[in-house]
Structure 1
Amino acid sequence: MLTVIIAFVANAAVAGAKTVAALITGSASMTAEAAHSWADTGNQVFLFIAERKSRRKRDAAHPMGYGREAYVWSMFAAFGLFTAGAVVSVMHGIQELVSPEPAGDFAVAYIVLAGAFVLEGISFAQAFRQTRKAARSLERHTLEQVLIGSDPTLRAVFAEDAAALIGLVIAFAGVGLHQLTGSPVPDAVGSIVVGALLAVIAVVLIDRNRRFLVGQGVTADIEKSIAARVLEHHEIERLTYLHLEFVGPRKLYLVAAVDLKGDRPEHDVAVALRRIERELEDHETVEEAVLTLATPDEPSLGFGREEAAPVAEA
């Protein structure tokens, strides 16, 4: 939540400054950057809603909880980035190539771009620290966590802030070349390049949210960790089936077939299974656990009883 709030404040301040600079200078790159920042500001509202709604406790209407709300609202944010950021930037760049307008007061653009870089850098640093922390808990690279992690809001803030910093460098180059050459072409091309960058980021975010909405499975490291957690229970002899599916950020639906030790009456077996399910659900990562008995002929899965790795930031 803190990451989203910091990003919102930074983007709102930057968007206002860029808009004023775009009006004063007439720069196409500054206009593209203003559209980008306003799109990011609006997106933070969607991401804030995603955080709030996805944290609601499950009820009778939503037995798996509301975790997937995060992917729905993050999808809206990604579409907003594409339409309000990418499309506007590309269209304005093309318009500037066809009908160029005079530009001036380049010093204003440089000052605003420098200030925006500082603010966007602060927001990106916060997102980077949080992503790196999650990546270390799963022994992943930071960029790998961005791409495959289950938290869509953190992924969106990280990607959008990274795109914002790259876009600022492109805008600075476009404005600088416009001033040096006197030609509006580099400035217009800069606007188009910024738009293309935003389009790529938006498509990647849309695809990741789509995958989680339709039922994203887990990676091998998380599967191994959860299997070890199941086998930690001294009553379980072996594990023959394991199904894991994300139902929200860092929330899993777990179905497993297990073989209990000994030969117990049916009532005792039922009680033991329910108790183990509740113990598994006590972990913040497991939204719901369903255990069933394995048949004798089913082969065991190739998981050992090594200590479970942390999966809270999956």
Structure 2
Amino acid sequence: MSGHANSLKAVLLALGANFAIFVAKLAAALITGSGAMLAEAVHSLADCGNQGLLLLGMRQAKRPPSDDYPLGWGRALYFWSFLVAILLFSVGGVFSIYEGVHKLTHPEPLSWPWLAVGVLIFGLLAEGISMRGCLQEVRKEQGDRNLWQWFRESRSSELLVIFGEDSAALLGLLLALLAVLATMLTGNLLFDALGTIAIGVLLVVVAVLVAVEVKGLLIGHGVEPKQREAMLGFLRERPEIECVYNLLTLHMGPDVMVAIKARMRAAASGRAQVDDINAVERDFRARFEAVRWCFFEPDVDD
């Protein structure tokens, strides 16, 4: 329903890309002795940690319900996604801005610039593969919406994070490449410092956007608007239901909880009405597979 099952592939692709970039940057740092390249290697390793946190969240979300957690652990995924957004903001964005300001006040000549260019181009290729896989999963739930509409309406927190991370990484690598090339061509170290600051600002903006969306899921988001309309349409077409008073939905990670309040059509007996309600719930779950909990309240008034 929301594409949670499709997100694992995108997370693993991002993890593989970030680890490959980390190895390339670490090798370049060891060869050149560049502290800046070593810092970039640590940055890529931190990105790998972000994917690890998402995988942990996806695993925790599968824990079964218990007396202490009657609706399961699905929303644990939102906590870890929010934590990744915070790390992207602090470790990625703020650190890059600090590094750029430091370069402005204490400029250092580029060491082995062509090696840096090679690493950046390799990073662009690796992140491009990751982004391609992410977009394949996004399209499965995007429908006729543009990417911004999908980003605002999606309930797949882990896919939101990967999309944001990959977008920021691609644009950041491109900015870094342009900054390094401009510095090589002009000899002006200002381009390198400004490029680093621009990357930091980009990461901060993406982190804030992702955090805002995941915050809504942490607080308690219902299903996507089109999905809710489909649910209402299904209920209104049922011959057992005379009027739908209210429909409440809540995402619990990959699963959905639904509460329905409706006036039932007259039945021959109380037992017959119970059978009608059970039939509606059974068919509702069959139609909307992500619905794990369905609470039905028959009533005569709203």
TM-score (norm. length: structure 1): 0.85
RMSD: 2.2
Shift of 1:260: 2.0
**How far has the Cα of 1:209 moved from its partner?**
1.4
Q: CA deviation at 1:218?
A: 3.5
Partner of 1:168: 173
For the pair 1:119 / 2:126, whether they are aligned, the reply is yes
Partner of 1:268: 272
Name stretches of at least 5 consecutive residues in structure 2 with no aligned partner. 1-7
| Preserved contact between residue 36 and residue 86 of structure 1 (Cα < 8 Å) | no
1:201–1:165 Cα change, 3 Å: same
Residue type of the alignment partner of 2:263: D
Q: Take 1:33 and 1:167, find their aligned partners in 2: how far apart are those partners? A: 12
CA distance in 2, matches of 1:143, 1:31: 35
Total equivalences in the alignment: 293
Deviation at 1:59, TM superposition (A): 3.2
- List aligned pairs for 1:249-264, cutoff 5 A: 249=254, 251-264=255-268
Instruction: Please list every run of 5 or more consecutive structure 1 residues that lacks an aligned counterpart in the other structure.
Output: 299-314
Instruction: Check if 1:103 corresponds to 2:92.
Output: no
Structure 2 match to 1:180 = 185
Q: Secondary structure at the match of 1:281?
A: helix
1:209 matched to 2:214: yes
Distance 1:146 1:57 in 2: 29
SS class of match (1:284) = coil
Moved more, 50-59 or 111-120: 50-59
Q: Contact 2:155–2:224 at 8 Å: present in 1 too?
A: no
Q: 1:215 to 1:67 in 2, by over 3 A?
A: same
TM-score (norm 2): 0.89
Q: What's the CA shift for 1:262? A: 2.2
Q: What is the aligned partner in structure 2 of residue 190 from structure 1?
A: 195
CA drift of 1:208 comes to: 1.4
Tell me the distance in 1 between the aligned counterparts of 2:165 and 2:72.
28
Number of the residue aligned with 2:5: none
Aligned equivalents of 1:131 and 1:74: distance in 2? 17
- The question of 1:43 aligning with 2:43 is answered no
Query: Following TM superposition, by how much is the alpha carbon of 1:271 offset from its aligned partner in structure 2, in angstroms?
Result: 3.9
The Cα shift of 1:47 comes to 0.9
Counterparts of 1:39 and 1:143, CA distance in 2: 27
Q: What is the identity, as a one-letter code, of the residue corresponding to 1:147?
A: R
The aligned residue for residue 158 of structure 1 is: 163
Retained in 1: the 8 A contact 2:131–2:166? Answer: yes
Q: CA deviation at 1:275?
A: 4.2
Q: Distance in 2 between matches of 1:97 and 1:233?
A: 68
Alignment of structure 1 residues 68-107 onto 2, 5 Å:
68-107=75-114
- Give distance in 2, aligned partners of 1:135 and 1:57: 29
Moved over 6 A (4+): none
Change (3 A) 1:26 1:187: farther
